[in-house]
Amino acid sequence: MGMRERVRRPACLVIEEEDGKKTRVEDFEPELPLSPGTKIFHQPNTNLNIIAVMGSGKKIDVNVLKSGIEATLIHHPRFSSLQVMDTEGRGAREGNGKWVRTRVELEKHIIVPDISNITITSPDRFLEDYISDLSATTLDFTKPLWEFHVINLPTTEAESVVILLCHHSIGDGVSLMSLLLSCFRKTSDPNSLPTIPNKTNLFADRRRVGLCSSTGTVGDVLGLLVRFAMLVGMLWNTFMDVFSFTATSSSWLKDTVTPISVKKGMPFTKKRFVHKTLFMEDIKCIKYAMNVTVNDVLLGITSAGLTRYLSRRYSDGGGKKGGGALPENIRLRATVQVNVRETQGLHVMADMMDEKKNKDAKFGNWIGCILIPFPIVQRTDPLDYVRTASRISNRKKNSGEANFICLCSQILIKIFGIKKAAFLSSELIGNTTFSFSNIVGPLEEVSFYGHPLAYIAPSVYGHAHALTIHFQSYMGKMKAVLAVDESVIPDPHRLCMDLSDSLDSMKKAVMSCG
């Protein structure tokens, strides 16, 4: 479900000295109540955590890391505040609470496991297991809900790794990623913020209902007619999307049960996180040849990769009815969280950590949810997956689904309360197959206080889906990050390869066409 958060300006803490002079000590947030966007992520079935695995090009100096975090992140109110929940009365029943500023003890937030006495035969597997075990833990509410884990162990892609674990109640993926990257600087120019393309969300580029001005009476009339037709089309798309969304939340419309579906009522298990590197050069080769967007290509790759994977699972007897061919008319959809705020650059996020500057940036959970269908069908031409994805994407851009759902969520919470909204959110997840997201990263190499970033692989866990697919671009590469329930998807690396192989087949098809 989508929701907005109310933004308030910070108060200024002033103390009066013995001589009568008043001194400004610091900016601080008063004890603000938790917004609906925060409270919903504390409900049992929507208690989510964001995890970001960051590879470093050199061994991590923990003292330097602490100094860097002390100079950046902990100045942000949400990284230096406790979430104090009401424990009795109506407030407890409605999941109410408040933000309370506190002194951050970095020693409790930066965790360096001792691995000196452990025999590690495969560093990559050790790291994978460590991250998987983290998904079975909970964050401590007696401190701000975030922590960094430092693993000084060389792996295939990095000399060491830092893992950020953060509760989703602090903010959505776009705001957290933007805030995190605003702490980095270009390796080539330590005084400059990273360069990030304007589009930072999958469906942020919504089409405007309008035309360039026409000249003459006939042109004006035609322009009005076209604008009216576009408006009607957008309203119709919005109506159909909201109807489908409502039917899914109400369990009237469900995805087809497949080998990657989770059975309702299945207890939460820890996730395994794996990732595969794709090259932006290959993706853009398809993009320019077909006149589509990078997002269209990623959606096409996902559809093709899932078709490959499910075809193999069905042929191996992974379907309910035993081995056989891929069934027809599979309904398989993903929930996609869409950023409904106006895009804000890294400079705005960087200002939020400077207590002398304005903190009016819309941080937190400003998201609306949409449903994206992924056709699961064998195609002779791999580029057909991209063509279909482009049509679906263009239609979604010409719909107000995300903003409408965001608005309806606020109304629903006010009328029926947070628990009912959380229940409908969990039903939506239970009646769809997986989660999907894509965030744009820096174009060039960036560093954090002398530590060059080798890669970044973010994901989320805590919801009922057995599969979450996240794409993250950085420095000419695209990370495909999978979070899976191994009891449902026992071979996540194989699924990663299916995504990679699908991209290769599309590139070959483009090259063969000249």
pLDDT digits (tens, 9 = 90+) for 103-143: 999 999 999 999 988 889 999 999 999 999 999 999 999 99
- Which pLDDT score, from 0 to 100, does residue 22 have? 41
Residue 57 has pLDDT above 80, yes or no: yes
Residue 203 has pLDDT above 70, yes or no: no
493 is catalytic: no
Residue 86 has pLDDT above 90, yes or no: no
pLDDT over 90 percentage in the chain: 59
CB 102 within 8 A of CB 144: yes
- Which pLDDT score, from 0 to 100, does residue 434 have? 97
In order of start, what are the domains of the chain with their CATH numbers? 28-512 (3.30.559.10)
pLDDT digits (tens, 9 = 90+) for 355-366: 455 454 567 777
Q: What is the rounded distance in angstroms from the CA atom of residue 98 to the CA atom of residue 34?
A: 5
| Cα–Cα nearest to 154, from 61, 55, 62 | 55
List 167, 168, 465, 470, catalytic entry:
168
Q: What is the rounded distance in angstroms from the CA atom of residue 457 to the CA atom of residue 474?
A: 10
- Which pLDDT score, from 0 to 100, does residue 361 have? 55
- Which pLDDT score, from 0 to 100, does residue 175 have? 82
- Which pLDDT score, from 0 to 100, does residue 507 have? 97
Average pLDDT value for residue range 291-305: 97
Give strand ranges (E) for 240-362. Answer: 272-279, 333-339
Higher pLDDT, 182 or 48: 48
Amino acid sitting at position 513: C
- Cβ-count burial 283-320 (b if 16+ within 10 Å, e if not): bebbbebbebbbbbbbbbbbbbbbbbbbbbbbeeebbe
Q: What is the mean pLDDT of the chain?
A: 85
Residues 6+ apart with CB under 8 A from 174: 200, 201, 339, 341, 367, 439
Q: Tokens for 8?
A: 């308030």
| Cα–Cα nearest to 281, from 21, 19, 477 | 477
Higher pLDDT, 165 or 89: 165
Q: What is the rounded distance in angstroms from the CA atom of residue 128 to the CA atom of residue 484?
A: 12
pLDDT band at 340 (very low <50, low <70, confident <90, very high): confident
pLDDT digits (tens, 9 = 90+) for 369-407: 999 999 999 999 999 999 999 999 999 999 989 888 888
pLDDT digits (tens, 9 = 90+) for 452-475: 999 999 999 999 999 999 999 999
